Chain A
């Protein structure tokens, strides 16, 4: 029997109940929000369950919603079940002043670099990560550049006089 989004949703609801919310299916991919304390429990359950078998972490990244007070940062996991070829996505939200989220490196080795990248750009502190240091930016950088409070340079600015590369 093919694994459908409804079966996944039912199994997860049985296991975690009220801790999972906001069930959606944008463009056919099952999406939900988990409480931030149980992210690894959800990952482990999806990994271990004999029917679900989500054993491939496709992608992990963060999104910054500055207007979403108390839940500014969303960490988004994309998982893939190769056997039934189903993908799902789930998110956990965290406060930007205390962005502590448990690391997924215990379940997936591939989460190592992806979490470092997320830390580098959004400052999410992955608790338990073996080597949480900057990866793409310079080590001396003291801010998290992908956050929305750092806009790109105004393209229309005129105060910069650059003879060589004229703007």
Chain B
């Protein structure tokens, strides 16, 4: 493409058009503003503005005890909030030095992989919608609903889950939850296969996405990509394998990688990851079923000083009342130190940097939000492409406004 001269605004000779894509636009699926400099239908330059839903979580977290920060993490990547919740619990457990029973780890894995599936299925079906294929979106959406019903059985809420506690879960999984999980494991693969049949080898979809918004592995690493977007460009980095948490080392799964890092590769990687997640859930469910007798009732660590006791115990048992009071009022001893812990979120490495000075609240808490870091590559990804490619690139990056702005 030839070099263009950018003339000042208002100049008669100005040949390019300035276009505001967003802040609220149906094609952006969130509050994103991009000021595009367009030459006809091609994007010459893009300037991204972020921060429209900034909610000062890091500041608020500086005055909240650890267990009150969990609801804040829900609102980061709200398509897979259980992963954020678990990531936060795992960070706290690392700081406090808790080790969890295996059964809790496996239950967490089930929930986290369900969340990953719900995140990826939204992203991939939205890529379909943005390229003009609405059907797949409706097909898979009913399984997101089923996943949300499973959350509901476990924690009582659906989107912003606030699931689990420091040290385990708030209650054991009910029989109904496992029943729904079985239903999901039986029916979802069929639908996912059907969804793939609609898009993966669809000539129109392939022409639309291959070569659209590509990034090389070197650039992706330099831009701080993680998660499916990095793997689509050919780097097999996955926190679940590199730094296993929550007993991921006990599972057998593969990490799909792409090669060109374009929209099509990102789509394929996410689809493959959903298949891998189904495998992981099956293995985890098998392992959970092997616990018999009293072991099958374990759903939290035996750490009364940190694990918020059940409400009915608070009303009837002395110790539970004391611990409840101490935890809620922030009287428990917190170790002094700094800890960085990360989990593989739906979009990449979700990190928590927690500095504790021994007080009842964190001295400093920083969320490493994968979206925020890879979004800066967006202007480079869409440069020289068509406007409609910019839209599809944005949805295939799976930008979540909540995670971008924290």
Contacts and interface: CB of A to CB of B under 8 A. Distances in A.
Interface stretch (A3-11, A55-63, A157-165): A55-63
A145 B60 CA distance: 11
A57 B51 contact: no
B222 interface: yes
B62 A152 contact: yes
Contacts of B243: 85
A27 to B, nearest CB: 5
Nearest to B349: A58
Interface string A35-75: 00000000000000000000111110101100000000000
Interface in B23-61: 50-51, 54, 56, 58-60
8 contacts: A26-B338, A61-B366, A78-B353, A109-B222, A113-B373, A121-B58, A136-B405, A152-B60
Interface string A124-167: 00000000001111000000011000001000000000000000
Interface of A: 26-27, 29, 31, 55-59, 61, 63-64, 76, 78, 82, 85, 87, 89, 108-110, 112-114, 117, 121, 134-137, 145-146, 152
Nearest to A55: B221
Contact of B223 (A31, A87, A109, A121): A109
B388 interface: no
A110 B60 CA distance: 26
Contacts of B363: 63
B339 A26 contact: yes
Contacts of A117: 372
B174 to A, nearest CB: 35
A61 B219 CA distance: 22
A131 to B, nearest CB: 9
Interface string B331-355: 0000001111010000001010101
B339 A27 contact: yes
Given A26-B339, A82-B237, A110 B366 contact: no
A85 to B, nearest CB: 5
Contacts of B337: 26-27
Contacts of A146: 58-59
Interface in B223-281: 223-224, 235, 237, 242-243
Given A112-B376, A152-B62, A63 B54 contact: no
Given A78-B340, A87-B340, A152-B63, A59 B376 contact: no
A73 to B, nearest CB: 11
Given A85-B243, A109-B377, A61 B340 contact: no
Contact of B51 (A63, A87, A108, A137): A137
A5 to B, nearest CB: 15
B50 A135 contact: yes
Nearest to B405: A136
B51 A59 contact: no
Given A55-B221, A110-B376, A136-B405, 11 more contacts: A31-B338, A58-B224, A59-B353, A61-B353, A78-B340, A109-B223, A110-B224, A112-B376, A113-B375, A145-B56, A152-B60
Interface centre among A110, A114, A146 (most CB of B within 10 A): A110
B368 interface: yes
Contacts of A152: 59-60, 62-63
A89 B340 contact: yes
B374 to A, nearest CB: 8
Contacts of A76: 353
Given A85-B242, A112-B376, A59 B62 contact: no
Nearest 7 CB-CB pairs, A to B?
A: A110-B224, A136-B51, A136-B54, A61-B366, A59-B368, A113-B376, A63-B364
Contacts of A87: 340
Interface string B80-117: 00000000000000110000000000000000000000
A92 B46 CA distance: 33
Given A59-B368, A78-B340, A152-B60, A108 B235 contact: no
A6 B219 CA distance: 31
B221 A56 contact: yes
Given A76-B353, A85-B243, A58 B368 contact: yes
B372 A113 contact: yes
A83 to B, nearest CB: 11
Contacts of A31: 338
Contacts of B223: 109-110
B339 A59 contact: no
B62 to A, nearest CB: 7
Contacts of A112: 376
A56 B222 CA distance: 7
Interface centre among B235, B242, B373 (most CB of A within 10 A): B373
Contacts of A135: 50-51
Nearest to B336: A26
Contacts of A108: 222, 224
B235 A82 contact: yes
Contacts of B58: 121, 146
B328 to A, nearest CB: 14
A108 B377 CA distance: 12
